Structure 1
Amino acid sequence: MIGPGPVRIRSHTRPRRRRTAGVLASALVLLAAPACSVAGADPIGEGPGTLRVVLPEEPPTLEPCDASLTATGRVTRSNITEALTERDPSTGRLEQALATEWKRDSPTSWTFTLREGVRFHDGSAFTAEAAAFSIERATESDLNCNVDGYIFTDSKVTATPAGDTTLKVTTAEPDPILPLRLSFVEIVPTSTDPDARVRKPIGTGPYRLDEWSQGRFLRLKRFSGYWGEAPDFAAAKYVWRAEGSVRAAMVTNDEADVAIGLAPEDGAGDRAVEFTTNEVSYLRMDATKAPLDDIRIRRAVNYAIDREGLVTAVFSGRPSGQLVSKGVTGHNPRIKPWAYDPERAKALVAEARADGVPTGTTITLIGRNGIYPKAAEAMEVVQDGLIKAGLKVEIKMLDVNAWLEYLLRPFPKGIGPTLLQAQHGNQAGDAAFTMGQIYGSKGAQSSYGTPELDALTTRAQLASGDQRQKAFADAFAHQNDEVVRDAVMANMTGILALSSHVRYRPDSATNDEMRLSDMRRAD
């Protein structure tokens, strides 16, 4: 659906999937709260008609231009805010949201026809002016929006209204997937501060922000002026608990309606729902600092990790060798997971040490609490393998806000060599959203890049069709063989706990977007 010529989509009274979303979910109607709560935690305590959701962590921000961050997007995307387009994770098709039609006028220009009769939560009308403002705010401001680094990298995008319902968008270079990129730009009214992040986002979605009591809960209420079909639940209340067993117990004890980010042993029982995600867990290596600046050490790190052991005993998933899963444009089926070969790892470290590489320098393994079930245990398994290979490794587990300082540029200064526990979910379905931001020399999440890999990425981004698939697959192969910037571990499997009072079918986008409108009352 993306490419030269007009892209016309059958008009809907509402967007696909009843408005769902990349990073998670499921839920149910709230029943009366029980007299006692799990592990002494305050019960959610809302009335009937409220969806009770328990998350692993509190969102670090609700800023719309950071909605491509999982912890933010699972609350905001397609709930509070919406984009011009959206990708169906089941089919890969790009579908209409706030735009009903788009066509490519030239290699660098597009025209979007916008949906009429849409209003923001503050009552103002959604127009092409608001769409242009939102695109500029997300891509050209000094806010350092995650969507800018992740989706647009260094791309120059200009959006110009041509009437209330027509938007012209131009790019400095040909961009065959611009409509797909715009599915990550959350649309906000022109009254939004263009120079500062907002705490209380205003959007066009089926829910509006009601209250955020930081550290305690976050509540959304159904927006009576929503342009589409009204969702089943009148409100949603989010709380967060770090322990997966506590989250699972809150559902089984009827203290919550949905719990996400669970492990098999968390005790959800017949309330557990397993699903395939697009999330890939990996370790990012800072290849600019010794001993990780030696490719032998980076290869040794890969050989030292027992991926089969991790997915068998620690978290759910299957071993993987690349950062995008099957179905994403650019996925290379020839790249297999690195073999577990501790003897080879030892030999490479010894060889590097003999050549003067300071293999005794402490490498800090920076982990994130709650990034996936048993995150700390996974890092302990990795640490043990690296120590046995002859490296010195210390673990530093952080909460999400502190961890983001290491994930996103500019990185903290004065730190030594690091391995960063991370996870990447390419819900957009195209490797352009992986290669530039994660492997590019100037990528928003990249600690190291090479001119050769940058050139391969640029070539792939300008291609389309079969040539695009091959070009990105070649770039991934080059990274795996010649750069070795990371240690990919597993394509993750998600588990959520779902109450019997709600109907919901999770998909590969569930861990990034938890669309409340997809949740239906079952009683």
Structure 2
Amino acid sequence: MLKLNCIKNILKVSSILLILLQLSCSQYKKRENIIVASAGKIESLDPAQANTLRTLQILSALGDTLYKINKEGNLSPSLAKDLPKVSKNGLLIDIPLKENISFHDGSIFNAEAMAFSLNRFRKIGTLNYLLNDKIEDIEVKGKFLLRIKLKKPSSSLASLLTSVNLTPVSPNSYSNYKDSFNNKKFIGTGPYFLESFNSSQQIIKPFKNYWGEKPLNKGINFINYSNSSTLFGAIKTKEVDVLISNSIDDLQRLTLNNMAKKDQLKSGEGEPIEIGYITFKSNKLPLKNKVVRKALSYTIDRELISQQVSFGTREPLRSIVPPQLHKKEFKPWPKYNPNTARSLLKTEGYCGTEILSIPLTFRSNVPADKLLALTWRDQIKRDLSDCLEITLNGIESTTVYKQLSEGAFEAVILDWTGAYPDPEAYLTPLLSCNELNNNSCLKGEAVFSGSFWGDKKLQELLEKSEELEGESRLNNLIKVEKLAAQGVAYLPIWLVNPKAWSLKDISQPEFSKDGLIILKNLERD
């Protein structure tokens, strides 16, 4: 009997060990893919609709662009065979394309496919003004030769063609989506193909017929968490391999940075491409008064806010273009100076018996917004309580975006990331205006941005910049930004570097010039 019990016990232990071994093997297989986590859901994978970093991040792995910006900051061919060839009058651009490239559905990438994709974006793209303001027509001049006819010379078009939004899609797979979005699928030419999609998780696998450098991993599980705390917990408990910094709480960001310094994690950082700013509605009093807006531009202590909100990780910003894109230090917005603010407010009849009240809206689902709003309000109470008060109103971000062009907000905290790494990708979306009445914008991007502000001279300079190249163009765009600073319809606050952290057995995350992780370079040791 004793011997029989002993045998039974041995069998039990063996069974348990076998189960544990199976579980271990199962877990290992599950982690064959690298798990990358970010905040927020992805509702659409259509490049014509994509407008969030998390969506652009996955699209950058599923598709290719005609050109890329290389490490030296220069234009480099990707799907294109060579740099664009521009006619003498600047109105025709010929782009030769690489051959022997196929889409994920097996169809061939050629000039017809590229023209289909660009024309589709021109018709339904969320940011279609980027092309429609410049392009007259798109022609197929040969099987692998694309011609773009411009309305007028455009020095920024080549940089625009690096935008992930313009990644080509297969005409075969999108023939029923010429006039509508294809949200749940993506058929491109990139190093990965889409294996499965829902709003919370996307699985991508290496495309075996990819024309370029193959991925160093066996696939990516892209997981979208609902909040910062869940993201933070997932990397600490090793549920995920890589964490992207978008929408993570700044205190948790600081903790992750410290873990990386202690060699508990690896970290990678890209060039700063996201700006945080406040928009003032300039077509209605009291903020229609330029002197009032100018006074407000002196009331914000960016250094204090950077420390209070982000422990110094968000760099104070006094321009609406990331500094590296101007290639020189440029700070046209004024420094914090409450005495100057007080003097300006007094000239308009405020201070003492009359206090200016400004309602400030912040996005309730963006942690940094609320902290910024609270810090600025408290700073105003400390320095200018007899002249100015800030009242706060938190609204969910999707509602804010829907109501911006309706003029719903006197002052609102926002952020912006350019669609491609060029000053114009920041200036045009905030400042461009097609119909002006004095300094009130009636039609154009300045309406959609919520400022309703425009300037005739500024518009002329924006248009002139398209005719210029190199240093002359950059200097002209600096003039544009100087006029924007004088108009003070926007108040830049900070600059945000894209960052990612990975577990010790994963390679250090690398970023491209457009602030996106190069997913195909992630590798498990």
Moved more, 433-442 or 67-76: 67-76
Q: In the alignment, what sits opposite 1:395?
A: 393
Distance 1:507 1:211, change over 3 A: closer
Distance 1:46 1:239 in 2: 17
Distance 2:376 2:109 in 1: 49
Distance 1:307 1:251, change over 3 A: same
Does residue 493 of structure 1 match 2:473?
Answer: no
Q: In the alignment, what sits opposite 2:194?
A: 209
CA drift of 1:332 comes to 6.2
Distance 1:33 1:303, change over 3 A: farther
Summarize the alignment of residues 45-84 of structure 1 with structure 2, pairs less than 5 Å apart.
47-67=30-50, 69-77=52-60, 79-84=61-66
CA drift of 1:34 comes to 11
Q: In the alignment, what sits opposite 1:93?
A: 74
Q: Report the 3-state secondary structure (helix = DSSP H, G, I; strand = E; otherwise coil) of the residue aligned with 1:256.
A: coil
Q: In the alignment, what sits opposite 1:8?
A: none
Deviation per CA, 1:12-43: give whole Å up to 9, x if none: xxxxxxxxxxxxxxxxxxxx9999xxxxxxxx
Distance 1:201 1:152, change over 3 A: same
Q: Report the 3-state secondary structure (helix = DSSP H, G, I; strand = E; otherwise coil) of the residue aligned with 1:116.
A: coil
Within the candidate set 316, 319, 323, 2:316 is matched to 319
CA drift of 1:228 comes to 1.8
The letter of the residue matching 1:405 is: K
Of structures 1 and 2, the one scoring higher in RCO (CA 8 A, sep 6+) is 1
Moved more, 67-76 or 313-322: 67-76
Distance 1:46 1:146 in 2: 39
CA drift of 1:55 comes to 0.6
Distance 1:419 1:34, change over 3 A: farther
Deviation per CA, 1:198-257: give whole Å up to 9, x if none: 11222111122222223x322222222222222122222222234434323312321001
The letter of the residue matching 2:144 is: T
Does residue 114 of structure 1 match 2:97?
Answer: yes
Does residue 516 of structure 1 match 2:519?
Answer: yes
Q: In the alignment, what sits opposite 1:381?
A: 375
Structure 1 runs not aligned, ≥5 long = 1-31, 36-43
Q: Tell whether the 8 Å contact from 1:283 to 1:419 is kept in structure 2 after alignment.
A: yes
The letter of the residue matching 2:225 is: R
Which has a greater percent of helix? 2
Moved more, 448-457 or 264-273: 264-273
Distance 1:45 1:263 in 2: 31
CA drift of 1:392 comes to 4.0
CA drift of 1:285 comes to 1.8
Distance 1:167 1:467, change over 3 A: same
Distance 2:391 2:335 in 1: 21
Q: In the alignment, what sits opposite 2:17?
A: none
Distance 1:304 1:243 in 2: 32
Does residue 348 of structure 1 match 2:354?
Answer: no
Distance 1:283 1:45, change over 3 A: farther
Summarize the alignment of residues 226-265 of structure 1 with structure 2, pairs less than 5 Å apart.
226-261=210-245, 262=248, 265=251
Distance 1:360 1:177 in 2: 42
CA drift of 1:280 comes to 1.9
Q: In the alignment, what sits opposite 2:12?
A: none
The letter of the residue matching 2:74 is: R
Q: In the alignment, what sits opposite 2:272?
A: 277
Structure 2 runs not aligned, ≥5 long = 1-20, 434-443
Q: Tell whether the 8 Å contact from 1:319 to 1:491 is kept in structure 2 after alignment.
A: yes
CA drift of 1:480 comes to 1.0
Distance 1:33 1:64 in 2: 41
Distance 1:218 1:366, change over 3 A: same
Q: Tell whether the 8 Å contact from 2:272 to 2:322 is kept in structure 1 after alignment.
A: no
CA drift of 1:382 comes to 2.9
Distance 1:337 1:177, change over 3 A: closer
Distance 1:353 1:288 in 2: 20
The letter of the residue matching 2:445 is: G
Distance 1:354 1:362, change over 3 A: closer
Deviation per CA, 1:484-504: give whole Å up to 9, x if none: 111101222344221112213
Distance 1:450 1:360 in 2: 26
Deviation per CA, 1:139-161: give whole Å up to 9, x if none: 2x1x2x23323x33622342111
**TM-score normalised by the chain length of structure 2:** 0.80
Q: In the alignment, what sits opposite 1:299?
A: 294
Within the candidate set 133, 140, 151, 1:161 is matched to 140
Distance 2:336 2:76 in 1: 42
Q: Report the 3-state secondary structure (helix = DSSP H, G, I; strand = E; otherwise coil) of the residue aligned with 1:365.
A: strand
The letter of the residue matching 1:158 is: D
Q: In the alignment, what sits opposite 1:6?
A: none
CA drift of 1:347 comes to 4.3
Within the candidate set 108, 115, 129, 1:132 is matched to 115
Deviation per CA, 1:47-83: give whole Å up to 9, x if none: 1321211112223432212345423212212x11221
Distance 1:520 1:472, change over 3 A: same
Within the candidate set 456, 465, 471, 1:466 is matched to 471
Does residue 480 of structure 1 match 2:485?
Answer: yes
Distance 2:400 2:45 in 1: 17
CA drift of 1:297 comes to 2.4
The letter of the residue matching 1:452 is: K
Q: In the alignment, what sits opposite 1:146?
A: 126
Distance 2:319 2:432 in 1: 15
Distance 2:346 2:267 in 1: 46
Q: Report the 3-state secondary structure (helix = DSSP H, G, I; strand = E; otherwise coil) of the residue aligned with 2:56.
A: helix
Distance 1:471 1:490 in 2: 24
Within the candidate set 274, 279, 290, 2:285 is matched to 290
Does residue 363 of structure 1 match 2:341?
Answer: no
Distance 1:264 1:520 in 2: 27
Q: Between Structure 1 and Structure 2, how many residues are aligned?
A: 463
The letter of the residue matching 2:518 is: R
The letter of the residue matching 2:107 is: S
Distance 2:402 2:23 in 1: 39
Distance 2:360 2:494 in 1: 21
Q: In the alignment, what sits opposite 2:426?
A: 434
Q: Tell whether the 8 Å contact from 2:97 to 2:146 is kept in structure 1 after alignment.
A: yes
CA drift of 1:274 comes to 5.6
Moved more, 266-275 or 156-165: 266-275
Deviation per CA, 1:349-395: give whole Å up to 9, x if none: 4543559xx9756524132634xx63322232234345645134222
Q: In the alignment, what sits opposite 2:456?
A: 451
